[in-house]
Structure 1
Amino acid sequence: MSGFGVPSSESTERAEPARVLRTDVRAARRRLAGRVRKTPVFHTSVDGPDGPVAVSLKMEFLQHGGTFTVRGALNALLSADSGADRVVVASAGNAGIAVALAAAQLGMECTIVVPESAPHTKVAAMWAHGAEVLWHGTTYAEAQRRARNLATERGAEHLHAYDMPAVVAGAGVIGLELEEQVRGRPPVLAAVGGGGLIAGLGAALGKRREIVGIESEHIPVLSAALAAGAPVDIAGPAHATELLCTTRVGDIAFDIAQRHRMSTVAVADDAVAAAREYLWREFRVVVELEGAAALAAVQSGVYTPEPGVRPIVVLCGANTELPVL
């Protein structure tokens, strides 16, 4: 496992993150009405280490652009008051696709700054939605600094891929849908990534349901932050992987996870790959590795639901190379 970093001077002196409330999520749902899909929930059972495990699969990979992040991108652009007709964002993958799609829908020009490690499949999807793609740096942090400066130079709206109140509120609409789609208050398992998804779920659901953040063993950004008391930089693997979304959790996600006492579970890469193969073999469902991470926690046994409990597993993205096997 990679070593945990320490909070940088930027993190120790950072301002308190903006609170994202359930009212913000409800406003996002109204704003997004007719623009995003209310993705279905599939109640089924999957193979676990000791036999079948009942789960409810939130099929968010069916969202426009194949990713939950389009909800946050659209909400951020629709709620912006800058009047800008172009947007700039840094992204290594799905957030860039989402912003490109949202900008195209709203008639805005879009520039995405990607690190050199960005997967070609995701860059191609950004191009397909009409975005300008610029490569800069080897890390997301470097691309983010360039995107911020570029937005200032061009007088463009600058979006953060995951650490932005409107982006988090948009993702939280998933939580409101789950309240309508699933009876009771079962736990919700979702991939951490940069934290936008779990932060949105936390803002929407509060402490009414347990939310479990699923991380890769190589980049436990949320558990490292919770242990350190602040977001910290994690040393990722030497080679780029589809699971390597960010090496630092967002401030908003950390704040929500800390206040709600969210738990985290780390899954091995081979377990995630096996879960993705299982989804294709058993259900003919294609997801990316991060999209299968939550299911991998159940199938590998690192997360075991209480007897009689059917956890909700969020399958959050489908942007991957084909074939997957």
Structure 2
Amino acid sequence: MIDLDDVHAAARRIEGRVRRTPVVAAGPDRWFKLEYLQHAGSFKTRGMVNQILAGAERGELTDAGVVAASGGNAGLAAAYAARELGVPAEVFVPVTAPAVKVAKLGKLGARVVQTGNEYAEAYAAALSRTDALFCHAYDDPDMVAGNGTIGLELLAELPELDTVLVAVGGGGLIGGVIAALRSRVRIIAVEPRTSRALNAALEAGAPIDVPVSGVAADSLGARRVGDIAFELARSAEIGSVLVSDDAIVEARRRLWDDYRIVVEHGTAAAQAALLSGAYRPAPGEKVAVLLCGANTNPSDLA
């Protein structure tokens, strides 16, 4: 299980290679962390850069480069990080991955292999590549620690912050946020009712397979939460709430209408927790919503 020291080590390793994303006011006692402005369009670039650099330090990176499996964002992050670090990348994605993400993978120079209907199937295929450094989309200590650098930035900007809302898929983001902020800030995991891997694991006492569907399945559609995120969430006793697809769609639309912010459905889940009442802050509670990805087709927002 990773801790704050691991997150600080990741911050030193990736400094100058990722963007320090803005924190903006969103109303009284409300803020947005604009991580969707990160290179390659999501938070996962932090973790991927850290994962590749840490692997290189251990001598695990060969001329074959890196291989990753992803429904979209982790693949984009791996492709971007590999290109910036000068190594080849091969990315396995489900055939259901959004076309906008698949096209971007090619533009970033990655070799794309589409196989299976879900992330788990693409993951199994990627593991067959044993000559390259496998970069896990979420359940890797270096990936999680790199993502946790978001928490360090958030606390530096908002030292009096009470609560942060985090959308959860496989758990690579919330695991990092917990490692960075568990002693300082209340952390609330937000998941779609139709893709509730962490919520189900906390309920069952261990990671279990869950069915995956819904509007946010392309980015929050992990069938099973990662072991690292589960252990961190359980030990920190974080809050966990669920939101409906309708609430997610409405939150995404409201982010555009009210703030001119364009994000993917999975990202909008965090804001949906506030708008739908799934999470109700106390009076005066200072709340940040982590807006973590924007690899989406904005044509349906007009």
Q: SS at the partner of 1:285?
A: coil
Query: CA contact under 8 A between 2:215 and 2:245: conserved in structure 1?
Result: no
Q: Aligned-pair RMSD on alpha carbons?
A: 1.5
Kindly state the Cα deviation for residue 240 of structure 1 after the two structures are TM-superposed: 8.4
The alpha-carbon distance between structure 1 residues 239 and 59, as it changes in their structure 2 partners (threshold 3 A), is closer
Kindly state the Cα deviation for residue 242 of structure 1 after the two structures are TM-superposed: 3.7
Q: 1: CA distance between counterparts of 2:234 and 2:124? A: 27
Q: 1: CA distance between counterparts of 2:141 and 2:258? A: 37
Equivalent residue, structure 2, for 1:7: none
Equivalent residue, structure 1, for 2:247: 271
Kindly state the Cα deviation for residue 189 of structure 1 after the two structures are TM-superposed: 0.3
Equivalent residue, structure 1, for 2:93: 114
| Structure 1 residue runs without a partner (length 5+) | 1-18, 46-52
Superposed, which structure 2 residues align to 1:40-59 within 5 Å? 40-45=22-27, 54-59=29-34
Calculate the TM-score normalised by the size of structure 1.
0.88
Q: SS at the partner of 1:324?
A: helix
Kindly state the Cα deviation for residue 324 of structure 1 after the two structures are TM-superposed: 3.3
Among residues 155, 169, 193, which one is paired with 1:217 in the alignment? 193
Among residues 127, 134, 137, which one is paired with 1:148 in the alignment? 127
Q: Which amino acid aligns with 1:301?
A: G
Q: SS at the partner of 1:42?
A: strand
Q: SS at the partner of 1:56?
A: strand
The alpha-carbon distance between structure 1 residues 238 and 69, as it changes in their structure 2 partners (threshold 3 A), is closer
Among residues 209, 218, 227, which one is paired with 1:233 in the alignment? 209
Q: Which amino acid aligns with 1:261?
A: E
Equivalent residue, structure 2, for 1:64: 39
Superposed, which structure 2 residues align to 1:164-203 within 5 Å? 164-203=140-179
Query: CA contact under 8 A between 1:100 and 1:126: conserved in structure 2?
Result: yes
Kindly state the Cα deviation for residue 300 of structure 1 after the two structures are TM-superposed: 1.0
Runs (4 or more) in structure 1 with deviation over 4 Å come to 238-241
Q: 1:140-198 deviations in whole A, cap 9, x for unaligned?
A: 11211111111x1xx11001100000000000000111110003141110101110110
Superposed, which structure 2 residues align to 1:1-325 within 5 Å? 19-45=1-27, 54-80=29-55, 81=58, 82-85=60-63, 86-150=65-129, 152=130, 155-237=131-213, 241-242=217-218, 244-325=220-301
The percent of aligned pairs where both chains have the same amino acid is 47
Calculate the TM-score normalised by the size of structure 2.
0.95
Q: 2: CA distance between counterparts of 1:291 and 1:69? A: 13
The number of residues matched between the two structures is 297
| Structure 2 residue runs without a partner (length 5+) | none
Q: 1: CA distance between counterparts of 2:243 and 2:145? A: 27
Query: CA contact under 8 A between 1:216 and 1:243: conserved in structure 2?
Result: no
